[in-house]
Amino acid sequence: MMGMGMEGEKVIEKVRQVGERAKKASLSLMNISTGLKNAFLYALAERLEKNEQEIIRANRIDLERAMASGMKKALLDRLELNSKRIKDMVVGLRQIAGLSDPVGEVIEGTKRPNGLLITRVRVPLGVVAIIYEARPNVTIDSIGLGIKSGNALILRGSSSTLNSNLFLVEEARVTLQACGLPEDAVQILDSGTHEEVTALLSLREYVDVVIPRGGGELIKAVVENSRVPVIETGVGNCHVYVDARADLIMAERIVVNAKTQRPSVCNACETLLVHQDIASRFLPQIGKALQEKGVEIRGCPKTRQFLPQVLEATEEDWYTEYLDLILAVRVVRDVEGAIAHINKYGSRHSEAIVTEDYTTARKFLEEVDAAAVYVNASTRFTDGGEFGMGAEIGISTQKLHARGPMGLRELTTSKFIVYGSGQVRE
């Protein structure tokens, strides 16, 4: 590349070598036994349990640097590893070990009139590169799902989590080696430069797929610049619609949970839609509950008739993934109005309706275009662990190959296996 200095060339060469080692490791992983993969997962879980305090100390360095740089509270929450989150990571690894191994699963089979027996089976994707921001638990989720599905991983986290990620990856590499598996099945890029990402996105010879996890700018940059196929995990501009026939006590519980239980994640609610017939009753109720939780509300003109103290919402607010204690609120005419709003402004991630009306619920389920659609439940459940996948590699909002939480099966592709007895094509 013209104008590239010596340091940039070194970064590119280093990334190329990482890709070459990952490809070699992926070929070794393709056909290893389920028992060996599970032994690794259990061993890594045990190692994380044993070294909990060391993990927290490594994470504390990242937290202190982030606080010194002025990182917002909600993003600090995503960055933090504590005893509960480490325990969740450990539980996730053990759950993945307990799941059925998708590799080798026969998807379908048929016998042709000419005697050919044709089957389609699941096989690993190969080398999966994951580019992600802030959350170090993604490191362990990715390793667990990647190894169980027979894939080698190249991880590239954000600089804010570098110390945590380096520690966790080293734990995994030591465990791989102890289990007789190639340690290069898990590698991390750590230069923190743009050249590193650019080089990774160009490794078509070695990398089979790239999965970006993070904010809209990161995902857009990867999709627009990658020469490697991308599975797009989406921004979470999620909605809760409270219908005219909603149980308002239930609705309050769901909205408060969806917005405040963990506002910094992609399945948190960002916009509340309220049927006009119950706005006068529900908005003061939910406004009080949300403000007690420290939520800043930005409302449409009708919302502000009932909550005059809230800020005026702009057109941009309807498109925004806040990842913070901020909620946009809009009064809509009916379920058709709610569906139209969601399909225009939503990110196709997770959408919920609160209603006791079966017909209205069915209409919402059928007409809302999203990876996950809920009736009378919080959007916070869109998660690999909550869906019984043990963990997730990301939540895909695209419609090719995978949609919604991506678990083991979504990290495989298929291969046709054809058995003959001397057939030739005429």
Domain borders along the chain are 9-233, 238-381
**pLDDT given for residue 1 in this prediction:** 43
What is the rounded distance in angstroms from the CA atom of residue 206 to the CA atom of residue 60? 35
What is the rounded distance in angstroms from the CA atom of residue 320 to the CA atom of residue 270? 7
Q: Which residues partner with 210 through β-bridges?
A: 129, 230
Question: What distance lies between CA 397 and its chain's CA centroid?
Answer: 10
Q: Is the pTM of this model over 0.75?
A: yes
Which residue's structure tokens are 């690894």?
93
Tokens found for residue 346:
């939503």
Contact yes or no for 86/46 (Cβ under 8 A): no
Cα dihedral: 26, 30, 35, 38 (round 10): 40
Contact yes or no for 207/127 (Cβ under 8 A): yes
Query: What is the SS3 assignment for 372?
Result: strand
Tokens found for residue 343:
């399909």
Residue 197's Cβ-side half-sphere holds a number of Cα atoms within 13 Å equal to 21
**Cβ partners under 8 Å of residue 326, min gap 6:** 270, 295, 296, 297, 298
CATH class, 9-233 region: alpha beta
Contact yes or no for 61/165 (Cβ under 8 A): no
DSSP string, 304-335: HHH-TTSEEP-HHHHH----SSEEEEEEESSH
pLDDT tens string, the chain, 426 residues long: the values are 444 566 778 888 999 999 999 999 999 999 899 999 999 999 999 999 999 999 999 999 999 999 999 988 878 888 999 999 999 999 999 999 999 999 999 999 999 999 999 999 999 999 999 999 878 999 999 999 999 999 999 999 988 999 999 999 999 999 999 999 999 999 999 987 889 999 999 999 999 999 998 878 888 899 999 999 999 887 899 999 999 999 999 999 999 999 999 998 899 999 999 999 999 999 999 999 999 999 999 999 999 999 999 999 999 999 999 999 999 999 999 999 999 999 999 999 999 999 999 999 999 999 999 999 999 999 999 998 899 887 888 899 888 888 999 999 999 999 999 999 999 998
DSSP string, 148-169: HTT-EEEEE--GGGHHHHHHHH
**pLDDT given for residue 407 in this prediction:** 92
Which residue's structure tokens are 């809302």?
368
| Alpha-carbon distance values, 299 to 64, 329, 395 (Å) | 36, 5, 29
What is the rounded distance in angstroms from the CA atom of residue 386 to the CA atom of residue 227? 33
Residue 94's Cβ-side half-sphere holds a number of Cα atoms within 13 Å equal to 11
Tokens found for residue 396:
């895909």
**pLDDT given for residue 154 in this prediction:** 98
Nearest Cα to 392, choosing from 181, 206, 168, 137? 137
**Which CATH architecture does the domain made up of 238-381 adopt?**
3-Layer(aba) Sandwich (3.40)
Q: How many residues does the chain have?
A: 426
What is the rounded distance in angstroms from the CA atom of residue 86 to the CA atom of residue 58? 13
What is the rounded distance in angstroms from the CA atom of residue 224 to the CA atom of residue 205? 19
What is the rounded distance in angstroms from the CA atom of residue 361 to the CA atom of residue 22? 47
